[in-house]
Every structure is written in structure tokens, then in C-alpha cells.
């Protein structure tokens, strides 16, 4: 059985995700980070509430784990409505989308994760739904075909994607608000962890553990919260409940996560470029084949943080290990 990668920003397993849901802020004023986006949303929400209108359609793009789903639930809460969550791959045919749209009440939120993976045949039905709140559905075929127009209640579509470049221009242009979410700075991650610790009953946690966890969180709240839960478990079972910096170090050694937040997969990626391809440049597919891994996994989950740290450069010829990356491997 493959070991769970603790520093991944992917969605957690169901039991872990339920704990994460309890840590999500419910109001915009409680949301930490992404200040420019929060201010834009605050103005838009106040304006539409005064006019009695639904919130504009919102497109959120950026790396996974930065709070896109949380923001969808917050927008619904601020509007006094419900949020319905689905994903692009789950909407395989037009009837799937129509079924979701017809059950929405006025001002409800439909959140579509990985919206760039919507099939083209399904995407065509979204355009009139977003613009005119209606769907033209074809019944039967041939000479007996007829078009049935379904009227929808005014709703808000919130789309999330990690690959904004794969969105079609007609779909992108129909969003009133579009924003790129950035990685979090350490002070914001510490604030998130302090808030989470209260919900997790970690009242004896010292301030130094939040700094230690935040430093390993790869600028991602979802990773930070997952690491904090692992530290809590380790402290309870192996450290007599002591929540101090040394407990974090011991817990993270067990998970193979170093002080910068890199794990075995990150180090294997860097060593492959250095040892097999002499530092590069080398194509991503070649790296993936050598590692026996999937290129999409490397591109989405490994490379963003290594690029941000300056350990890898992405050139026209391929990936290249930087001087900083070489120095890191020498000391690892």
C-alpha cells in the first residue's frame, strides 16, 4: 500500500476532510490571507445584498489547498444561501449539469472544482445558464426533436481551477470576478494554525510549534492543517502530550518532511535531475519515466513549490537544477 504523502495539497481522505471542514471559517471576516481578493469580495457582496441580487459569478484559480472551496462556502453563507459542490469530471453529460442547476434556489451557489475538465458538450449548457438563467434542453432527435427551455432561479457559479490556461475563452469571459490565489506567507499560516489549535483543543501548544509547522507547510493552509493534526497525534502517543518544537521535529522526521517542507518525493525529483540528467535541462516526461511516476502529479504537486523555492528552473529546453537546488541536495 502506497504511503500517504502528507505535504500534498490534494483533498484529504474523507475522515480527515471532515476534521478539516470543522476548521474552515464561515464568515469573510474570519478568512485569513488573500487580502486583495477578500476586499474585492467584501465590496461585491455588500453591493449585491443592498440590491437584492445574486452574487456575480466568480472564477478562482491557483494551486490546490489555498482556500477556493472555503471561499465558495463563505460566499454562500454571506448571501444567506446554500452551496452545492461538484467537480468538472463528475459532470460527464448535460443531464448531470441540468440536474444540479434545476435544484438550486434563488441566490444559491454552485461550486465546480476543476472546472477546466468540463466536457465540451456540458460546457455549452453553462453559457445560457450563467447569462440568462435558463437552459435549452433538446428532447428526442431527428424530425421529432424539440427544444425545452428550463427557467432557472438566479444563482452564482463559482469555478475553481489549478490550470486557468486550459479554460476556454467563452467560459472565462462569463465570470464577473476572476482572481489568482497566491501562496500564503508564514505569518498568515501561523494565524490559521493558532485558530485551528483552539478547535482541536490544543490549548497547551507553545507558540514555537506554530512557527515550526508553518515553515514546513509549503505556503499552503491545507498542508499546514494536516501537519498540525499529525503533530497533535504524535504528541498524544509518543511525547506525553507535550506540544513543543522538539515534538514537531520528531513528528516530521517520522513523516520524512524536512525543515523546508520537502519530502521524499521532492528530494527524489531533485536527485533524478542531478544524478541521472547531470542537472538538466531535461523534459518532464523523461523525469517522470525515470521516477516511475505520473508527469501530471509532478507538474501539479511537486514542481510549484520547488519553483517557488528556486530549486528548479523551467526553461524552453526543460527542467534544470539551480545552484540553490544543488546546495540543498548537498546538505540534505
Catalytic residue among 113, 258, 263, 266: 113
Q: What pLDDT, on the 0 to 100 scale, is given for residue 1?
A: 39
pLDDT band at 21 (very low <50, low <70, confident <90, very high): low
**What CA dihedral angle connects 294, 297, 303 and 306, to 10 degrees?**
-100
Domain assignment of residue 302, yes or no: yes
Domain count, the chain: 3
User: Does the pLDDT value for residue 311 go beyond 80?
Assistant: yes
Q: pLDDT tens digits for 31-47?
A: 999 999 999 999 999 99
pLDDT interval class at 23 (50, 70, 90): confident
222 catalytic residue (yes or no): yes
Q: Look up 113 and say whether it is catalytic.
A: yes
Assess whether 297 and 226 both reside in one domain.
no
Which residues, 6+ apart, have CB-to-CB distance to 154 below 8 Å? 53, 54, 106, 107, 133
Please provide the average confidence, as pLDDT, over all residues in the chain.
Answer: 90
Instruction: Tell me the backbone φ, ψ of residue 45, rounded to 5 degrees.
Output: -65, -45
* 235/208 Cα distance (integer angstroms): 14
More confident residue, 8 or 55: 55
pLDDT at 205: 84
Q: Report DSSP state, residue 300.
A: I
Cα gap 173→109, rounded to integer Å: 19
For residue 52, what are the CA distances in angstroms to 8, 39, 245, 270? 40, 20, 50, 53
Single out the catalytic residue among 69, 156, 247, 322.
69
Determine which one of 162, 220, 272, 322 is catalytic.
Answer: 162
Given the residues 222, 229, 230, 319, the one annotated as active site: 222
Range of the domain at 247: 186-254
325 vs 67, 175, 258, 307, CA distance in Å?
A: 29, 39, 14, 10
At 44-71, the pLDDT tens digits run: 999 999 999 999 999 999 988 999 999 9
Domain with residue 320: its CATH number is: 1.10.10.10
Contact 324, 311 (CB under 8 A): yes
Residues 101 and 167 in one domain: yes
Considering 254, 287, 305, which residue would you say is the last residue of a domain? 254
Q: Are residues 45 and 123 in the same domain?
A: yes
Instruction: Give the three cell numbers for residue 201.
Output: 483543543
Amino acid at each position: 500500500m502506497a504511503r500517504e504523502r502528507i505535504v500534498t495539497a490534494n483533498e484529504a481522505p474523507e475522515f480527515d476532510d471532515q476534521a478539516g471542514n470543522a476548521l474552515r471559517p464561515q464568515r469573510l471576516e474570519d478568512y485569513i490571507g488573500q487580502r486583495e481578493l477578500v476586499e474585492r469580495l467584501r465590496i461585491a457582496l455588500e453591493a449585491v445584498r443592498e440590491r437584492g441580487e445574486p452574487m456575480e459569478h466568480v472564477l478562482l484559480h491557483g494551486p490546490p489547498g489555498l482556500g477556493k472551496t472555503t471561499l465558495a462556502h463563505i460566499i454562500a453563507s454571506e448571501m444567506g444561501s446554500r452551496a452545492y459542490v461538484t467537480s468538472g469530471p463528475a459532470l460527464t453529460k448535460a443531464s448531470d449539469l441540468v440536474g444540479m442547476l434545476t435544484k438550486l434556489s434563488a441566490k444559491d451557489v454552485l461550486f465546480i472544482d476543476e472546472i477546466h475538465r468540463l466536457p465540451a458538450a456540458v460546457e455549452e449548457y453553462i453559457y445560457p445558464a450563467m447569462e440568462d438563467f435558463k437552459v435549452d434542453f433538446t428532447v428526442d432527435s431527428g424530425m421529432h426533436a424539440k427544444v425545452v427551455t428550463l427557467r432557472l432561479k438566479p444563482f452564482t457559479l463559482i469555478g475553481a481551477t489549478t490550470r486557468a490556461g486550459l479554460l476556454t475563452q467563452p467560459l472565462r469571459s462569463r465570470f464577473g470576478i476572476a482572481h489568482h490565489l497566491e501562496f500564503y506567507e508564514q505569518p498568515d499560516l501561523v494565524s490559521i494554525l493558532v485558530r485551528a489549535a483552539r478547535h482541536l483543543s490544543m490549548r497547551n501548544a507553545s507558540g514555537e510549534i506554530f512557527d515550526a509547522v508553518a515553515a514546513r507547510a509549503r505556503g499552503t493552509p491545507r498542508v499546514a492543517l494536516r501537519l498540525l493534526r499529525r503533530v497533535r497525534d504524535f504528541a498524544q502517543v509518543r511525547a506525553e502530550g507535550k506540544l513543543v518544537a522538539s515534538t514537531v521535529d520528531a513528528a516530521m522526521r517520522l513523516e520524512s518532511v524536512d525543515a523546508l517542507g520537502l519530502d521524499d518525493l521532492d528530494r527524489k525529483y531533485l536527485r533524478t535531475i542531478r544524478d541521472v540528467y547531470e542537472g538538466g535541462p531535461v523534459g518532464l516526461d523523461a523525469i517522470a519515466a525515470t521516477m516511475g511516476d505520473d508527469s501530471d502529479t509532478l507538474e501539479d504537486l511537486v514542481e510549484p513549490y520547488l519553483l517557488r523555492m528556486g530549486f528548479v528552473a523551467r526553461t524552453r529546453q526543460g527542467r534544470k537544477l539551480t545552484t540553490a537546488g544543488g546546495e540543498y541536495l548537498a546538505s540534505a
